[in-house]
């Protein structure tokens, strides 16, 4: 079956998050939108967490796990906030898509120990809709997104890797059969020299053969620095879908928040 092509990819609106119980909190040294992401440390892992503007007692809220790229590595609990975190903090997005956003910080490549700590932290948050936990990340965070959904395909309701896939280590091999039923919307510049798009295309083609649920947006003419395009979209995006099981919704935020386990 040939993939359906959706031209002029567009996207739209928002998210949020805060921390809670059993975590040490550091005072924020950032200004503006970064202050919305409160600093926490859980089991030795630094995290920045933005909560919904208002948590109502009679409802639960989706949660987005945000994975930084290699430039965010460390333990300063600051560098992991990226351009998509700023986009998610915009007031209109927060109102339209109330949710938690959890941005952990890794010291090295994302791995199973990091994933365990993230899941443990999520359990401490109040009013989380555990059927609507999403994950997104760019570059190393895009790789990490693929890795985490392989480690536990039942945990996430949807995944959005940008400029990811194809780490050279054998333990980071992408097994499409494990993730074919996880709704994925991947993004990649076709001129990416850091992580060539061919690796993402290979994953997409394998999932397509399996009748899986994956969308792949190619940013025509773009290199590796495309992380700011996931949420708002751009006119140079062309999107393929792997099967009729995929939602054809062109707005990323609407697509993401429509997904549930």
148 or 27, which is more confident: 148
DSSP E strands in 114-236: the ranges are: 128-138, 158-162, 184-189, 214-219
Domain of 191 in residue numbering reads as 4-257
Q: What pLDDT is stored for residue 95 in this prediction? A: 97
Report pTM: 0.87
Q: What pLDDT is stored for residue 173 in this prediction? A: 72
Give residue 165's pLDDT band: very low, low, confident or very high (50, 70, 90). Answer: confident
Mean pLDDT on 40-52:
98
Strand partners, 77: none
**What residues contact 115, with CB distance under 8 A and at least 6 apart?**
147, 148, 151, 152
Mean pLDDT on 189-209:
94
DSSP codes, 109-145: S--HHHHHHHHHHHTTSTTEEEEEEEEEEETHHHHHH
Res. 28: pLDDT tops 50: no
The DSSP symbol for 222 reads: -
For 97-133, give one letter per residue: b (16+ CB within 10 A) or e.
Answer: bbbbbbbbbbeebbeeebbebbeebbeebeebbeebb
Res. 20: pLDDT tops 70: no
pLDDT tens per residue across span 56-109: 999 999 999 999 999 999 999 999 999 999 999 999 999 999 999 999 999 999
CATH code where residue 114 lies: 3.40.50.1820
Give residue 169's pLDDT band: very low, low, confident or very high (50, 70, 90). Answer: low
Domain count, the chain: 1
Q: What are phi and psi of 255, to 5 degrees?
A: -60, -50
């Amino acid at each position: 079956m040939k993939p359906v092509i959706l031209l002029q990819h567009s996207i739209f609106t928002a998210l949020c998050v805060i921390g809670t119980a059993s975590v040490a909190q550091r005072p924020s040294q950032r200004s503006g939108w970064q202050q919305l992401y409160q600093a926490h440390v859980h089991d030795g892992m630094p995290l920045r967490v933005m909560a919904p503007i208002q948590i109502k007692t009679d409802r639960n809220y989706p949660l987005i796990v945000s994975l930084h790229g290699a430039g965010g590595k460390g333990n300063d609990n600051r560098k992991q906030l990226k351009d998509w975190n700023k986009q998610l903090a915009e007031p209109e997005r927060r109102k339209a898509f109330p949710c938690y956003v959890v941005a952990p910080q890794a010291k090295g490549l994302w791995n199973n120990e990091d994933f365990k700590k993230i899941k443990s932290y999520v359990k401490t948050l109040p009013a989380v809709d555990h059927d609507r936990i999403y994950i997104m990340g760019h570059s190393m965070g895009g790789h990490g997104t693929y890795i985490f959904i392989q480690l536990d395909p039942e945990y996430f309701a949807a995944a959005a890797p940008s400029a990811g896939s194809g780490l050279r280590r054998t333990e980071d091999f992408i097994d499409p059969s494990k993730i074919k039923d996880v709704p994925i919307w991947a993004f990649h510049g076709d001129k990416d020299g850091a992580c060539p798009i061919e690796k993402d295309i290979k994953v997409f083609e394998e999932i397509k053969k399996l009748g899986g649920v994956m969308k792949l947006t190619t940013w025509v003419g773009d290199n590796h620095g495309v992380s700011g395009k996931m949420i708002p979209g751009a006119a140079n995006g062309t999107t393929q879908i792997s099967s009729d099981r995929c939602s054809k919704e062109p707005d990323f935020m609407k697509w993401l928040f429509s997904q549930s386990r």
